Amino acid sequence: MSIISIRLYGDSILRQKASAVKVIDKSIDLLAEDLIETMLSVKGLGLAAPQIGYCLSMVVVNLPALNLDEPPLILLNPQVISEQGEKVYEEGCLSLPGIFEEIKRAEKVVVWARNLKGEEFSLEGDGLLSRVLLHEIDHLNGVLFIDRISSLRRRLLRKKLKNLKRVEEKDEHIL
Ligand code: CO
């Protein structure tokens, strides 16, 4: 297991559509472990595989951090089955550090996915769990939460977003 550095805004992998997981082999098990370990290391509520450099349809959700008495959850090929209600809530993303915006999302969601054994399951989430699921599934479609704010708000963020990119470039030069 290893902690992998999280890709930041500006990295093209965050804009790609993730491929479905077709065969669950050792590499998929290892990716799930790395995703969970990386998420826990930064106390994230969720993390999607493209954020650590793998363009595959896999997300993890930090259920313990959501006060749900379950281990972190792994979802392969998750699909949103239904959405209900609406709620505006402040949201951030590990790939856009320091940026927080009010985002409108469904209050309740039903998601279908497979687990690491390849078994289908459906999950009903409300409140913060619903938000995390929708945010992470967005990542699998190359969508970031700032795509869901008004163009005016996005214009106001332009400078912050540029600085974010600069930090990433500087890091790359150092390493
Ligand atoms: Co995110």
Among residues 109, 47, 118, which one has the least CA distance to residue 79?
A: 109
- Residue showing tokens 């479609």: 141
What length does the chain have?
A: 175
With the C-alpha atoms ordered 19, 77, 43, 138, is the resulting torsion angle positive or negative? positive
Q: Which of the two residues, 161 and 175, has the higher pLDDT score?
A: 161
Say how many Å lie between the CA of residue 30 and the centre of ligand 1: 21
Average pLDDT value for the chain: 93
* Burial bucket for residue 14 (CB in 10 Å: 0-12, 13-18, 19+): buried
Torsion of CA 61, 64, 69, 71, to 10 degrees: 60
Say how many Å lie between the CA of residue 103 and the centre of ligand 1: 13
Retrieve residue 151's tokens.
Answer: 């163009």
Q: What are phi and psi of 44, to 5 degrees?
A: -75, 155
For the chain, percent of residues with pLDDT exceeding 70 = 94
| Residues within 5 Å of ion ligand 1, judged at the Cβ atom | 93
Say how many Å lie between the CA of residue 146 and the centre of ligand 1: 10
- pLDDT(167) > 60: no
Name the region of 125 (left: φ>0; alpha: ψ -120 to 50; beta: rest).
Answer: beta
Say how many Å lie between the CA of residue 44 and the centre of ligand 1: 9
pLDDT digits (tens, 9 = 90+) for 26-73: 999 999 999 999 999 999 999 999 999 999 999 999 998 998 889 999
175 band by pLDDT with thresholds 50, 70 and 90? very low
pLDDT for res 166: 57
Question: Which positions are annotated as active-site residues?
Answer: 136
